Structure 1
């Protein structure tokens, strides 16, 4: 009886050992499966700058990366119904989306799936997904995602009414977001001018003065012209009167009449 109990106890211990061995093996196999880790869950970048989109992966077949496959996709905020394939690494070749040629590229192949996106645009904002697969490792592809926000440039203005000399001064415009604070300065100078009614009155008076001056010059010219003609007429008449009143004396005629 004692021997039977000992045998059962030994068999139970052996069974437990085998069970824990299998659990450890399955756990180790699970731990060595392909994993993808996104070091950031969200990023922000100013329009026109560059940004690194991080994607790390672990594979049990790290010594066999000749068939490594990495795919980055983007679901834009502007058109979530139309995701695009950003860039692909497959069998040592890199394929970029035609709309992103020259603006996107891998930074750490084949050990890292990080990509760099430069000259960022508002249309680049959205959800980025990194999918990694490494045959002959038999496992589901590892997938990670992050959200990229692109801050576009905005403009603002202020309107000042009823300006006066007291409105002159240095104005500061301040803009703040998660990337920091920027200031710009504008120096405004106001020069006082005469009121509109008095200015109009001065213009009217000046116009009237010029008109009167021109009228006086015209009258003077006409008077001088008339005076000149009147003098010539009087001179002509005086010559005629002298001609008709003159008694001409001819000595020869007088002598003949007395003979």
Structure 2
């Protein structure tokens, strides 16, 4: 049987009211399954709920960290029970986690995590219990690291006509990182021959010209932040390679010549010192010092005297004996023209004895100088 329109509207209203009366505990937060934040920032994980008249048991709100490894147990982060907050379960977040509302029983069980770290990444679950109602909600948190310590540098020769590469590397930052280059010294765009790889940060400049010179900036970006660096490019004409090679050859030859000259001087000096040492050694050890003529004469006379004194009477028979009292006349024939007044005076043998002269016996000699 079809009811009239006013009766149908009244019946629908009664049904909705009945449904509302029988509805239990419900989490009303938006279904936000993924949250991304940067390291060092603050994040709020939502968990708002409503209660019904049928929920008469004690209110419990619990946040747990679900491990990625199924073999590990869930880790309780913070909990509200019996009108009290417990937040010292997880040492890694001790002092960094709290309920957003100091009185969670008002219907807001959201939590704040301060000073995020990359190790905070994971799946978090909110569980609200009030018997007989129970509801849960999961949220995936990703803590990303902003790009940092980005460095720019040039690889290649900065000469006209050469190919070179501008490189940009960020030493910190969560993937995925994207790089972008721009010429910051003017409003000009990148050179027409440039090729950019946004994933590696390399900017290839082919057949460079002096118009390419200027300041270039690189910006590294990921989902939570940016960082940048700059480098100056100065394209110059090519250097005279032939002149450089010639200069290098000449310098090398001069160096070799100087080295050879030093070696020669050292060897010569060494030979001179060695020669002086040998000569000094020979004189000191092999050659006795020369004696004076007087000493030589005395030695000769002494040796002759010893030799003559050692002769026996038998050996003296062949010699002509001259009495000491007979001294041969000292009248010599002087050559013509010599002044006879300078002739030596005659001294008798007895006078020679009285004067201390020593008689010497002179052996007779043959014409060839041998003793007869």
TM-score normalised by L of structure 1: 0.61
In the alignment of these two chains, the number of paired residues is: 223
Q: CA separation in 2, counterparts of 1:200 and 1:49? A: 63
Q: Give unpaired runs (5+ residues) of structure 2.
A: 1-6, 165-212, 299-343, 349-372
RCO (CA 8 Å, sep 6+): is it higher in 1 or 2? 1
TM-score normalised by L of structure 2: 0.45
Structure 2 partner of 1:74: 65
1:170–1:187 Cα contact (<8 Å) kept: yes
Structure 1 partner of 2:317: none
Q: Give unpaired runs (5+ residues) of structure 1.
A: 1-14, 249-254
Q: SS of the counterpart of 2:133?
A: coil
Provide Cα deviations, 1:145-166, integer angstroms capped at 9, x if missing partner: 32222224678888965x3244
Q: SS of the counterpart of 1:141?
A: strand
- C-alpha deviation, 1:70, in angstroms: 0.5
2:147–2:225 Cα contact (<8 Å) kept: no
| RMSD across aligned positions (CA) | 4.9
217 and 23 in structure 1: CA distance in 2 versus 1, 3 angstrom threshold: closer
34 and 243 in structure 1: CA distance in 2 versus 1, 3 angstrom threshold: same
Structure 2 partner of 1:126: 122
1:38–1:56 Cα contact (<8 Å) kept: yes
Q: CA separation in 1, counterparts of 2:116 and 2:140? A: 14
Which one has a larger percent helix, Structure 1 or Structure 2? 1
Q: Does 1:212 align with 2:261?
A: yes
Q: Does 1:87 align with 2:78?
A: yes
- C-alpha deviation, 1:116, in angstroms: 1.2
Structure 2 counterparts to residues 1-259 of structure 1, below 5 A = 23-31=15-23, 33-39=24-30, 41=32, 42-60=34-52, 67-76=58-67, 78-79=68-69, 82=72, 83-91=74-82, 92-95=84-87, 96-108=89-101, 109-110=103-104, 111=106, 112-134=108-130, 138-152=131-145, 163-166=156-159, 172-186=217-231, 202=251, 206=255, 209-220=258-269, 222-223=271-272, 226=275, 229=279, 240=290, 243=293, 258-259=347-348
Rg comparison, structure with higher value: 2
Q: CA separation in 2, counterparts of 1:129 and 1:211? A: 85
Q: CA separation in 2, counterparts of 1:214 and 1:258? A: 77
- C-alpha deviation, 1:187, in angstroms: 5.9
- C-alpha deviation, 1:21, in angstroms: 7.8
Q: SS of the counterpart of 2:265?
A: helix
- C-alpha deviation, 1:198, in angstroms: 7.4
- C-alpha deviation, 1:50, in angstroms: 2.2
